[in-house]
């Protein structure tokens, strides 16, 4: 996994290579516009896949021997005898040679736009996502990034992925750690959860944070000990304010990064990606890219709740419609913070010290009840799907109460709203009963069991930690749930994600919540057909069935028969989007 991040973060474009790239792009676009209608590979070739483990992800017919693809869609499934019946002059026959083919992975939650921009930033993650062991190495990595990319004084240095729980110092970096090396560069370090950040003195000066600054509700400014002086560590709403002023790539840079990001997602077997929090400027840029035919994968976009009025008024007719690979899926609300960062909102307090808090430290909500009520009522009236980030049980309570209030006011059918609770990390059993009643879809995050399971046991106690992402309980209750990496928070690796759902091993090797382990089949459904259900696209995606899109991934081994502890070692060999190969190892 270390290579996943290193390869992705080191992709850079020089000014000259960008010029040449876009010169070629312009000529290519002209060619495509003139000749696409007669050269679409989906229209010219029919394909038969056979001689492998073909997993349909349909419970009533789990495995078939052959699949026929025509014009980018699945035209037939059957046994080996079907092949002769399907053959015609233009058919290409693909021998899988015993490899495993299943529906393309559907990303239930990640941050595609952040993933694109981070290619121009420094990876300061700890193993296995990076190599940082201590704060000295973190600063050295930033310095190397600054020199390698010739970032001059006065320009921002941005790093992502630091994790204080994995640093030798067992603390957050602060401005004092950064100032000596970067007195004239503003520095922004994003915490692994993306809910906290550290700024140096130059950056604090630029954004205007001083001894007398007050944080907005839902935000925290951490101070140096026995002082009002900002330490550089900011939480929740304060981070959002800084991100708004960070420099953004140009349209030319965005398009080049978009291609690289799609290639990276495709290399992980993903045929449908998600951008889990999209503001209007980013969405407009993505629309331009779609208009130019730039999407090779599908991208599900969640509009930021901070611009709810604009989304609900000006973009209401675009929700749920796929435009050349781009689909505005719903509105995303951020309800609380990070459990490992101790900003997730709980009904019971954390058991360990919480930065910036003295007593009864339960985390904090990042949205008000009034905001929730307003957004849910107005979105539900227009059948616009709601996705809410909620890690702690108190944040989940807020969403459930707002949902009840909204449906009580709406005089219309609301039985297929499919409100998605992103992470649902520490949902209570009684809350799951309400999920079932209201048709909620919990989008779980079992990678937490590995990356922070041991930390959660310390911060929350064994009982709460063991019920983290309770996928087995959820499925046994008849509730459809999904699973995700929350990339860039954890590596974009759907097989490792499947491994964590099946094994629930922590870094120390303990099993966290043995009763919540899934079978490989159940775990795979959570990143295929269940994820399609979450996005309301299950009629065209997520399983191998006649009439659905020919979105496939080819794996080196069969997750259903391999040793469960070796699932994370399975390789993606090929990714196919609507019958066309978009990645091949």
Look at residue 142 and give its three-state secondary structure: helix
**Is residue 145 located within the same domain as residue 267?**
no
**Is residue 272 located within the same domain as residue 357?**
yes
Closest CA to 460 of 391, 409, 400: 391
Please report, for the domain that includes residue 171, its CATH number.
3.10.310.70
- Apex CA 378: angle with CA 374 and CA 379, to 5°? 115
**Is residue 423 located within the same domain as residue 385?**
yes
Tell me the whole-structure pTM to 2 decimals.
Answer: 0.85
Pull the structure tokens for residue 202. 């130059």
Distance CA 395, CA 532 (A): 25
Domain end among 186, 214, 243: 243
CB 433, CB 483: distance < 8 Å:
no
Pull the structure tokens for residue 415. 């039985």
Specify the pLDDT at position 89. Answer: 67
From first to last of its 585 residues, the chain has per-residue pLDDT tens of 544 444 443 333 333 333 333 333 443 443 343 334 334 444 546 999 999 999 999 999 999 999 999 999 999 999 988 888 888 767 899 999 999 999 999 999 999 988 777 767 899 989 888 899 999 999 999 999 999 989 999 999 999 889 998 899 999 999 999 999 999 999 999 888 888 899 999 999 999 999 999 988 878 899 999 899 999 999 888 888 888 888 877 767 777 889 989 999 999 999 999 999 999 999 999 999 999 999 999 999 999 999 999 999 999 999 999 999 999 999 999 999 999 999 999 999 999 999 888 889 999 999 999 999 999 999 999 999 999 999 999 999 999 999 999 999 998 777 799 999 999 999 999 999 999 999 999 999 999 999 999 999 999 999 999 999 999 999 999 999 999 999 989 999 999 999 999 999 999 999 999 999 999 999 999 999 999 999 999 999 999 999 999 999 999 999 999 999 999 999 999 999 999 999 999
β-partners of residue 93 are 48
Please report the beta strands in 125-229, taking only residues with DSSP state E, as ranges in sequence order. Answer: 157-162, 187-191, 196-199, 219-223
The reply to whether 248 falls in a domain is no
Closest CA to 484 of 561, 563, 553, 425: 425
Q: What share of the chain is helix, strand, coil (3-state, %, to 5)?
A: 40, 20, 40
**Is residue 286 located within the same domain as residue 200?**
no
Domain end among 211, 243, 275: 243
**Residue 32: partners with Cβ closer than 8 Å, 6 or more residues away:** 293
The reply to whether 123 falls in a domain is no
Residues counted in the chain: 585
- In terms of residue numbers, what domain contains 355? 255-541
Pull the structure tokens for residue 210. 């001083």
Give the chain's domain count: 2
**Is residue 424 located within the same domain as residue 369?**
yes
The reply to whether 478 falls in a domain is yes
CB 236, CB 219: distance < 8 Å:
yes
Please report, for the domain that includes residue 478, its CATH number.
3.20.20.140
| 101 backbone dihedrals φ, ψ, rounded to 5° | -115, 135
**Is residue 448 located within the same domain as residue 517?**
yes
Domain end among 210, 243, 276: 243
**Is residue 514 located within the same domain as residue 450?**
yes
Distance CA 25, CA 474 (A): 47
The reply to whether 572 falls in a domain is no
**Is residue 284 located within the same domain as residue 416?**
yes
**Is residue 272 located within the same domain as residue 236?**
no
The reply to whether 260 falls in a domain is yes
The reply to whether 342 falls in a domain is yes
Q: Is the dihedral of CA 256, 257, 261, 262 positive or negative?
A: negative
**Is residue 278 located within the same domain as residue 342?**
yes
**Is residue 537 located within the same domain as residue 427?**
yes
The reply to whether 564 falls in a domain is no
Neighbours of 166 (CB within 10 A): 20
Distance CA 250, CA 567 (A): 40
pLDDT tens digits, residue range 253-294?
A: 777 889 989 999 999 999 999 999 999 999 999 999 999 999
**Is residue 328 located within the same domain as residue 185?**
no
The reply to whether 546 falls in a domain is no
Distance CA 511, CA 425 (A): 17
HEC string of 268-310?
CCEEEEEEEEECHHHHHHHHHHHHCCCCCCEEEEEEEHHHHHH
């Amino acid at each position: 996994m270390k290579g996943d991040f290193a390869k992705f973060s080191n992709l850079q474009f020089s000014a000259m290579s960008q010029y040449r790239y876009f010169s070629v792009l312009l000529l290519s676009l002209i060619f495509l516009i003139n000749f696409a209608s007669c050269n679409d590979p989906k229209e010219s070739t029919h394909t038969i896949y056979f001689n492998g483990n073909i997993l349909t992800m349909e419970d009533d017919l789990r495995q078939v021997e052959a699949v026929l693809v025509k014009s980018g869609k699945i035209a037939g499934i059957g046994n080996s005898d079907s092949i002769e019946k399907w053959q015609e002059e233009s058919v290409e026959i693909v021998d899988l040679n015993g490899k495993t083919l299943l529906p393309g992975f559907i990303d239930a939650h990640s941050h595609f736009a952040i993933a694109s921009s981070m290619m121009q930033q420094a990876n300061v993650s700890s193993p296995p996502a990076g190599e940082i062991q201590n704060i000295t190495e973190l600063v050295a990595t930033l310095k190397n990034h600054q020199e390698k990319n010739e970032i001059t004084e006065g320009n921002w240095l941005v790093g992502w992925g630091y994790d204080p729980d994995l640093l030798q110092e067992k603390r957050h970096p602060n401005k004092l750690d950064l100032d000596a090396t970067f007195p004239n560069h503003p520095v922004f370090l994003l915490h692994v959860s993306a809910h906290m950040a550290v700024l140096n003195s130059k950056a604090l000066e630029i954004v205007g944070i001083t001894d007398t600054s007050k944080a907005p509700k839902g935000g925290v400014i951490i101070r140096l000990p026995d002082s009002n002086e900002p330490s550089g560590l900011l939480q929740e709403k304060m981070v959002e304010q800084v991100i708004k002023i960070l420099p953004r790539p140009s349209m030319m840079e965005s398009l080049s990064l978009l291609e690289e990001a799609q290639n990276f997602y495709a290399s992980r077997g993903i045929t449908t990606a998600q951008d889990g929090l999209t503001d209007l400027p980013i969405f407009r840029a993505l629309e331009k890219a779609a208009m130019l035919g730039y999407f090779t994968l599908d991208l599900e976009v969640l509009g930021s709740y901070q611009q709810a009025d604009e989304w609900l008024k000006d973009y209401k007719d675009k929700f749920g419609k796929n435009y050349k690979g781009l689909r505005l899926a719903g509105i995303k609300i951020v309800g609380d913070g990070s459990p490992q960062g101790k900003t997730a909102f709980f009904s019971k307090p954390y058991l360990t010290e919480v930065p910036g808090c003295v007593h009864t430290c339960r985390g904090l909500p990042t949205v008000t009840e009034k905001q929730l009520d307003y957004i849910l009522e107005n979105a539900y009236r227009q059948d616009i799907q709601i996705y809410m980030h909620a890690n702690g049980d108190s944040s989940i309570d807020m969403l459930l109460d707002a949902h009840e209030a909204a449906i009580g006011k709406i005089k219309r059918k609301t039985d297929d709203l499919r409100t998605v609770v992103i992470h649902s990390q520490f949902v209570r059993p009684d809350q799951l009963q309400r999920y079932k009643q209201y048709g909620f879809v919990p989008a779980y995050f079992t990678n937490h069991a590995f990356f922070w399971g041991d930390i959660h046991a310390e911060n929350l106690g064994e009982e709460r930690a063991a019920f983290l992402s309770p996928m087995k309980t959820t499925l046994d209750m008849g509730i459809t749930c999904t699973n995700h990496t929350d990339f860039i928070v954890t590596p974009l690796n759907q097989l490792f994600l499947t491994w964590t759902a099946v094994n629930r091993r922590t870094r120390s090797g303990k099993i966290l919540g043995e009763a919540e382990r899934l079978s490989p089949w159940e775990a795979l459904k959570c990143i295929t057909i269940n994820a399609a259900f979450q996005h309301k696209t299950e009629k065209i995606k997520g399983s191998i069935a006649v009439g659905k899109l020919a979105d496939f991934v080819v794996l080196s081994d069969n997750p259903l028969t391999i040793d469960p502890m070796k699932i994370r070692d399975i390789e993606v060999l090929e990714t196919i989007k609507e019958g066309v190969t978009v990645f091949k190892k």
